[in-house]
Amino acid sequence: MKIENQFTIEHAPAIVWAGLSDIYTVAECLPGASVADELPNNRYRGRFAVKLGPLAATFEGELQIEHDLKKSIGNSLG
């Protein structure tokens, strides 16, 4: 699954980047997402539950976060 989105946030870049760099803050913004374990090398184990009408699914797996603080870019792989 690939999720893409784009939006404008009316706050200082440093404040926004601090929030987006914190996996626990990001998980709180995604209904059904939770962080189960912190692993070495910016990796995390977590869960994502989705419900659409009568269908429900829970996905468990690992996520690796990559940040370039100087360029204010990041990647989430998993």
% of the chain exceeding 90 in pLDDT:
58
- Looking at domain 13-77, its CATH class is alpha beta
Q: Where are the domains of the chain?
A: 13-77
**Which one, of 65, 67, 69, 66, lies nearest residue 14 by Cα?**
69
- Which pLDDT does position 1 carry in this prediction? 67
| CB-based contact 13:20 (threshold 8 Å) | no
| CB-based contact 38:44 (threshold 8 Å) | yes
Query: What digits encode the pLDDT tens for the residues 10-40?
Result: 999 888 888 888 999 999 999 999 999 999 9
- Which pLDDT does position 39 carry in this prediction? 97
Query: Which residue matches tokens 């929030």?
Result: 19
Asked whether residue 61 carries a pLDDT value surpassing 90, the answer given is yes
- Which pLDDT does position 44 carry in this prediction? 97
The overall average pLDDT reported for the chain is 90
